[in-house]
C-alpha cells in the first residue's frame, strides 16, 4: 500500500485580500446564497463576507464570516470584530463564523464562544487553518491545486501550460477559477 503525505497549505503566503477571496470562493462553491464580500473594499464593519447558509433539514441562516488571516485568533480580535458587527446598521446576526489562517486553542474557542453569547450571537463557528484547509480539500476541490507557487492564484492558462505539479513535496496553492 502506498503512503501519501499531505503537506499543509501555506495560508501565511496570502495577502488579506487573497485569503478573503479564497474564503469567499469556498462559500460560493458550497451553494451559499446572497454572498457579499465587504472586506475587499475596506470598511467592513466587522464582517468580511455575509451570506445565507443553506441547510437540508432546517431553515437557512444569514451568517457573517470574518476572515482572520493571522497566526492565531485572539479573544481581543474576535470581540472587536463581533462588536463592530453588532454596532453596524444591520446589527449582529444570529450566526457568526471565523475562518482562520492559524491555530485556535480550545481555551480561545471557549472564551470566544462566551463573548459571542454575551453579544447575542446564537451560533458561532470557528475554523482553524487546518479545518479550513480540510474543508477545501473535501468540499471545494476546485479551489485546491498542488503547486510550487504557493502564493499565486493559478489561471486556467497557467495550469494548461504545466506551471503546476503534483509532487508530494509541493506546497498547496489555492486558486479560484
Length in residues, the chain: 177
User: pTM (2 decimals)?
Assistant: 0.78
Instruction: State the pLDDT at residue 111.
Output: 97
- Give the tens place of pLDDT for each residue, 113-171: 999 999 888 899 999 999 999 999 888 877 775 333 443 444 455 445 544 443 333 34
Mean pLDDT (whole number) for 36-46: 71
8 Å CB contact between 74 and 86 = no
8 Å CB contact between 41 and 162 = no
- Of 158 and 79, more confident: 79
What is 11-174's CATH topology? Trna Endonuclease; Chain: A, domain 1 (3.40.1350)
Instruction: State the pLDDT at residue 45.
Output: 61
Residue-range domain boundaries for the chain: 11-174
How many angstroms separate the Cα of 25 from the Cα of each of 28, 71, 137, 175, 176? 5, 21, 13, 9, 6
How many angstroms separate the Cα of 134 from the Cα of each of 55, 117, 152, 158, 173? 20, 27, 19, 24, 13
* In the predicted structure, residue 31 carries a pLDDT above the cut 90: yes
8 Å CB contact between 39 and 48 = yes
Instruction: State the pLDDT at residue 56.
Output: 87
Percent of the chain with pLDDT over 90: 40
Instruction: State the pLDDT at residue 122.
Output: 87
Instruction: State the pLDDT at residue 156.
Output: 53
- Give the tens place of pLDDT for each residue, 92-118: 567 899 999 999 999 999 999 999 999
Amino acid at each position: 500500500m502506498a503512503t501519501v503525505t499531505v503537506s499543509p497549505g501555506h495560508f501565511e503566503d496570502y495577502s488579506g485580500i487573497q485569503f478573503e477571496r479564497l474564503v469567499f470562493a469556498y462559500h460560493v462553491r458550497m451553494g451559499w446564497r446572497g454572498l457579499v464580500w465587504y472586506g475587499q473594499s475596506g470598511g467592513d464593519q466587522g464582517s468580511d463576507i455575509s451570506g445565507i447558509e443553506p441547510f437540508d433539514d432546517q431553515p437557512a441562516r444569514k451568517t457573517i464570516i470574518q476572515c482572520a488571516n493571522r497566526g492565531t485568533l485572539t479573544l481581543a480580535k474576535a470581540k472587536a470584530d463581533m462588536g463592530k458587527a453588532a454596532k453596524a446598521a444591520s446589527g449582529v446576526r444570529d450566526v457568526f463564523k471565523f475562518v482562520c489562517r492559524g491555530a485556535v486553542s480550545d481555551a480561545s474557542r471557549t472564551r470566544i464562544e462566551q463573548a459571542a453569547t454575551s453579544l447575542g450571537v446564537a451560533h458561532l463557528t470557528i475554523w482553524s487553518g487546518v479545518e479550513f484547509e480540510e474543508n477545501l480539500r473535501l468540499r471545494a476541490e476546485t479551489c485546491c491545486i498542488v503547486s510550487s507557487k504557493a502564493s499565486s492564484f493559478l489561471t486556467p492558462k497557467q495550469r494548461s501550460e504545466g506551471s503546476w505539479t503534483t509532487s508530494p513535496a509541493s506546497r498547496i496553492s489555492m486558486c479560484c477559477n
